[in-house]
Amino acid sequence: TQLLEQSPQFLSIQEGENLTVYCNSSSVFSSLQWYRQEPGEGPVLLVTVVTGGEVKKLKRLTFQFGDARKDSSLHITAAQPGDTGLYLCAGANQAGTALIFGKGTTLSVSS
Amino acid sequence: SQTIHQWPATLVQPVGSPLSLECTVEGTSNPNLYWYRQAAGRGLQLLFYSVGIGQISSEVPQNLSASRPQDRQFILSSKKLLLSDSGFYLCAWGAGAPHQETQYFGPGTRLLVL
């Protein structure tokens, strides 16, 4: 069974700090998506990465897909309270039979 | 642009009662549709997916069922709810190879079974 492990599970930081969250697996994924979810709402897509080594930037968020397409990271620069939420990664397995979700990283940014 | 709707937003039901949750998508044709359940600390669990009208695939055995009576409508049902059915139910749509494409989520339905 393919698994996506996200770390850390919880992260509490002050406004202005930088942070990185990780999404790791022993399996190869054909693509990987990052979502942010706020309490009581559905996940909102942030980015999809498909090429090994790919780096995408979304304002203060930088996403990287590992060269072997087994892992990904999300780096936030100068975090703001509006970044608070649950960050989920999801990978499409190479067999094309499932989208595997990690359990998420809960980020809290206080001012 | 595409939008996805779910209702109700919140539902409190007694054990043994029936369930019907509805999901509709606007602005796209022949989408792949998905039902997930999200439990605290356990991530998203895929329950059902559909690639077309009347085509339903079940991922886990359970007392829930799904139907797709129209192209952009996906319904999650149960004849008799269990306590363990409580959770946050999410509908999602995608427009590519099933499970491979980017999925877009609805706002969710919070179900509490008492």
Contact yes or no for B99 and A40 at CB 8 A: no
Residues contacting B10, CB < 8 A, separation 6+: B109, B110, B112
User: Per residue in B23-55, pLDDT tens?
Assistant: 999 999 999 999 999 987 668 889 999 999 999
- Asked if the bond preceding A8 is cis, omega within 30° of 0, the reply is yes
Q: Is B83 on the interface with A (CB under 8 A)?
A: no
Residues of B in contact with A101 (CB under 8 A): 43-44
Contact yes or no for A103 and B108 at CB 8 A: no
Distance, in angstroms, between A7 CA and closest chain B CA? 13
Strand partners, B4: B25
Q: Is the model more confident about A13 or about B58? A: A13
Report the pLDDT averaged over residues B76-91: 95
Distance, in angstroms, between A31 CA and closest chain B CA? 7
> Is the pLDDT confidence value at B95 over 90?
no
d(CA A21, CA A1): 23
φ and ψ at residue A96, rounded to 5 degrees: 75, 25
> So what's the pLDDT on residue B99?
67
Residues contacting B2, CB < 8 A, separation 6+: B25, B26, B27, B28, B93, B104
Model confidence band, residue B102 (pLDDT cutoffs 50, 70, 90): confident
DSSP A8-19: -SEEEEETT--E
Contact between A74 and A18 under an 8 Å Cβ cutoff? The reply is no
Report the pLDDT averaged over residues A6-20: 97
Contact between A27 and A13 under an 8 Å Cβ cutoff? The reply is no
User: Per residue in A51-105, pLDDT tens?
Assistant: 999 999 999 999 999 999 999 999 999 999 999 999 999 998 777 777 889 999 9
CB pairs < 8 Å spanning A and B = 50
Contact between B35 and B111 under an 8 Å Cβ cutoff? The reply is no
Parallel/antiparallel/unpaired status of strands B64-70 and B109-113? unpaired
